Amino acid sequence: MAPRILLIGGNPKHFHAAKAAGLEVVYCQNPDEFKPEYGPLVVGALLADYTDWETFRPLVEAAHRAWGFTTVVSLTEPGLDPAGRVRDLLGLGGPSYEVSHRFTDKYVMRRRLAEVAHPDVPAIGAEVLTDSASLTAFGDRYGYPFIVKPGAGTASFGVHRVDGPDEADAVFSAISRERDVSDHPFLGQYDLDEYVMEEYIDGTLYSAEAFSFAGTHTVLAITEAVTLPGTVVHAGHAVPARLDAAAVASVERMIPAFLDALGYSDGPSHTEFKFSPRGPVVIESQNRIGGALINEMVFAVHGVDMHDLTMKWPHGSVSPIVAAPSASGAAASWLAVAEPGEILEIAGVDGVSADPATLAIDLGGAAPGDVVRSLDGSWDGLGHVAVRAPDTTAAIEFSQAKVADIKVRTKPVES
């Protein structure tokens, strides 16, 4: 019998990666997100709110008895901590809940880095938001600007920049409104109770796409992000990042030290960072593969499929990669957006898909009748288009052009 994994969250892309690796899948998903076409792809399904441990625990125990999975995998942010809890409960290999939570809770991560104090991983000031006065106090201590963001979550939702003490009340009011919102898709997966204040690091955002092999960490690619002017939304991502050899070497020193500090030994990671006078500074990190079609771009440029590694490594069916393969060309993805409102029509997708330079299109299943929200985070975009090109600059420009070829017509939603 083929090895079986418990896949928490995720989508058919992950099912197919598991099948290609010779694995059978027991799938856990929220009931309203399970689709009939998933049935033939799995040997068993566990439909439950996997973020509710008291409910999820007995169901997992029963599923383990019934289907005998030996590995737990999650490549979606809300599933990372539950995956750690399942490993702890059943004595399975892979990151524990404690280790996973150092990634998923941004303040826990900051505390851990301060405790370890590794010279290659500069620590920055961070505190938990309590009230409007704590914003002013943080600014007095660490200076302006600084960032306030949810302690859990991703996709730039709820991120605020505070440029001076006169903005404290307005920012705190905005956060209070975010906590009261009930209809954003983000809120079904993340808790907005805790916000974290952090020192601001200026400059371009990058991410290191790495894989850890029994404590040996290999940076497979470095991605460059393009942020929309005046926002914190990362609209574009490109591989390889436009960095010189010295900068790349500093990242290749920092990432293993960072992952060691968090106690992470096996699996993929996506670590965002910026450069400072002290070297690369971690902005945040996830113990999963990055979104925005990054895996497709890394595979096109470096020939490494991180989905394949994630499925095969726990079962010993793949060898460690000791160094990233050299880049061949470049790739970039760009966020598709539309005017807020109800989608009436999406045109141009077939033409973009037919272009041989197009790597992938992921519009998240958007269709007429769906509602487009205002662009407050990349969650509010429709999805991404990824393309290949001879170099990074050309790839970024081409990805923007391909996204522009997709026309989304909307109409205002009546309140």
At residue 183, the pLDDT reads: 58
Can you give the pLDDT at residue 154? 58
Quickly state the pLDDT bin for 11 (edges 50, 70, 90). Answer: confident
Taking residues 19-36, report their average pLDDT.
Answer: 93
Tens digits of residue pLDDT in 208-248: 999 999 999 999 999 999 987 766 778 999 999 999 999 99
- Average pLDDT on 362-374 reads 87
For position 176, what pLDDT does the model report?
87
What is the predicted pLDDT for the residue at 384? 95
Residue 362: per-residue pLDDT = 94
* Mean pLDDT, residues 118-140: 95
User: What percent of the chain is modeled with pLDDT above 90?
Assistant: 79
pLDDT, tens only, 170-181: 999 988 888 766
Query: Which pLDDT score, from 0 to 100, does residue 153 have?
Result: 64
% of the chain exceeding 70 in pLDDT = 94
Which of the following CATH numbers is that of domain 4-93: 3.60.20.10, 3.40.50.20, 3.40.50.970, 3.40.50.1220?
A: 3.40.50.20
Structural domain boundaries in the chain = 4-93, 125-199, 206-411
Task: Give 106's Cβ-side CA count (13 Å radius).
Answer: 32
Q: Is the pLDDT of residue 388 over 60?
A: yes
Mean pLDDT value of segment 120-137: 95
**In this predicted model, what pLDDT tens digit does every residue of 303-335 receive, in sequence order?**
999 999 999 999 999 999 999 899 999 999 999
The reported pLDDT for the residue numbered 263 is 98
Mean pLDDT of 13-19: 89
58 CB-side CA count, 13 A:
2
CATH number given to 206-411: 3.30.470.20
Is the pLDDT assigned to residue 190 strictly greater than 80?
Answer: no
Q: What is the pLDDT of residue 189?
A: 53
Query: pLDDT tier at 58 (50, 70, 90 boundaries)?
Result: very high
Question: pLDDT tens digits for 131-144?
Answer: 999 999 999 999 99
Average pLDDT value over all residues in the chain? 92
pLDDT band at 2 (very low <50, low <70, confident <90, very high): confident
Q: What is the mean pLDDT of residues 142-171?
A: 87
What pLDDT is stored for residue 377 in this prediction? 61
Q: Given this chain, do its domains 4-93 and 206-411 carry the same CATH topology?
A: no
What pLDDT was estimated at residue 186?
A: 52
* Domain with residues 125-199, CATH architecture: 2-Layer Sandwich (3.30)
What confidence category does residue 253 fall into, taking pLDDT thresholds of 50, 70 and 90?
A: very high
pLDDT for position 415: 63
